[in-house]
């Protein structure tokens, strides 16, 4: 009897999701003779049993399309808001998994999806995941699909901002996505020739940034481009956050936990609009006019790059092969030219930040880019 496959996309949208859906669908159906159905809007669609057919006609022509034909959401199986109340929908998901006679559920997503998928695996479901995120921060894979496309968009944006920065002798601050990892800001900053790159992994000293800009002025360069990741923060705030996190780990009573949560919420509020705050500080310290450009969701949109289409198709095809071999409870990871299964237990809850000894960091320093430290 042919295996029955379910597939969903969860978390933020990302270029390459449709290519991955197509890769899994064509390989499972066309090559291995399996049957595949999709679920709309992530884990919520699975909980509500909202099915999308994925026959050849549906899969045809989606390779180059951005977003996801299945829709997505950030709903968690064990914490799903319905009618203003939060419910654990895990039992409903298990019931629909069984009612559709699924042999395996394929989940496409980033770090949060890996954790949710592991919870379902621990409930006895056969699960396989594929790594998706423009942040490139999923653990134990060389790359995630979506990153290359976003990298190209962010780089092109920096290219375009060079002309206005040069014309008006301004500091242009470009905020690039990346709350916990700076791959996107680092890669786009190097490729786009940014003069300063600020990363979550390297808390910055605003005075060091200002001095680097003033030094450029002394050498006749009257503009500067600052590429800053969303999660980058000044050293003082980073130290406060680290101290609060340590208190959170040691908190035992409800009162202590609430106090630490309140402190972390306050620090989060202070970090909001940090690109604007940075621009104000740099204007004060350098005497130059500063402007902020926030790329935001522009980085997620549009057709996936050739590299993302190739990676997503390759991982989707490998996923079908693992299903055929009854390999479950894993994420399909890119390791060099190979696709290898990595246990979900090793992936979920972990993250892949930029190592401080990474060649991209070394490259940035060698070409004179200031990293704020």
Tell me the average confidence (pLDDT) per consecutive run of 10 residues in the chain, 373 residues long.
Answer: 95 96 97 97 98 93 96 96 94 98 98 98 98 98 98 97 86 96 98 98 97 96 95 91 80 78 80 91 96 94 96 98 98 97 97 97 98 95
> What does the pLDDT read at residue 250?
80
For 29-42, how does the pLDDT look when each residue is reduced to its tens digit (9 = 90+)?
A: 999 999 999 999 99
Instruction: Please give the C-alpha separations between residue 77 and each of 27, 94, 122, 125, in angstroms, as whole numbers.
Output: 28, 10, 13, 13
Which DSSP letter does residue 355 get?
P
> What does the pLDDT read at residue 135?
97
Cβ atoms < 10 Å from Cβ of 189: 30
Domains of the chain by range and CATH?
A: 4-145+304-347 (3.40.50.450), 151-300 (3.40.50.460)
Active-site entry in 29, 41, 135, 137? 135
> What does the pLDDT read at residue 282?
97
Question: Is 135 noted as a catalytic residue in this protein?
Answer: yes
> What does the pLDDT read at residue 333?
98
**% helix, strand, coil for the chain, step of 5:** 45, 20, 35
Tokens for 202, please give them.
């390297």
Q: In angstroms, rounded to a whole number, what is the distance separating the alpha carbons of residues 210 and 121?
A: 50
> What does the pLDDT read at residue 163?
86
Instruction: Please give the C-alpha separations between residue 9 and each of 38, 42, 124, 218, 263, in angstroms, as whole numbers.
Output: 9, 5, 20, 51, 34
């Amino acid at each position: 009897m042919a295996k029955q496959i379910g597939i969903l996309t969860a978390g933020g949208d990302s270029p390459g999701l449709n290519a991955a859906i197509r890769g899994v669908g064509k390989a499972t159906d066309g090559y291995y003779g399996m049957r595949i159905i999709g679920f709309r809007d992530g884990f919520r669609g699975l909980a509500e049993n909202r099915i999308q057919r994925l026959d050849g006609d549906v899969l045809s022509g989606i390779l180059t399309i951005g977003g996801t034909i299945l829709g997505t959401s950030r709903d968690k199986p064990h914490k799903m808001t319905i009618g203003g109340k939060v419910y654990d929908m895990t039992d409903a998901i298990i019931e629909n998994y069984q009612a559709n006679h699924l042999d395996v559920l394929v989940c496409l997503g980033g770090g949060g999806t890996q954790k949710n998928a592991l919870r379902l695996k621990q409930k006895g479901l056969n699960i396989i995941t594929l790594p998706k995120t423009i942040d490139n921060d999923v653990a134990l894979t060389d790359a995630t699909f979506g990153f290359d496309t976003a990298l190209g968009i962010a780089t092109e944006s920096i290219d375009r901002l060079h002309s206005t920065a040069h014309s008006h002798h301004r500091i242009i601050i470009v905020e690039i996505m990346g709350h916990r990892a700076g791959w996107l800001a680092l890669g786009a900053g190097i490729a786009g020739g940014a003069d300063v790159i600020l990363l979550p992994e390297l808390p910055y000293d605003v005075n060091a940034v200002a001095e680097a800009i003033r030094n450029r002025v002394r050498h006749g360069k009257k503009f500067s481009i600052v590429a800053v990741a969303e999660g980058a923060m000044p050293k003082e705030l980073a130290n406060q956050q680290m101290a609060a996190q340590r208190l959170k780990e040691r908190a035992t009573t409800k009162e202590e936990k609430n106090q630490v949560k309140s402190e972390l919420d306050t620090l989060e509020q202070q970090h909001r609009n940090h690109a604007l705050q940075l621009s104000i500080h740099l204007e004060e310290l350098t005497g130059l006019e500063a402007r902020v450009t926030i790329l935001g969701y522009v980085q997620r949109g549009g057709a996936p790059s050739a590299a993302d289409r190739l990676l997503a198709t390759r991982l989707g095809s490998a996923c079908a092969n693992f299903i055929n071999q009854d390999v479950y409870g894993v994420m399909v990871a890119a390791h060099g030219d190979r696709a290898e299964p990595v246990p979900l237990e090793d992936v979920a809850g972990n993250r892949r930040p930029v190592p401080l000894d990474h060649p991209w960091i070394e490259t940035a320093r060698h070409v004179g880019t200031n990293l704020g430290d």
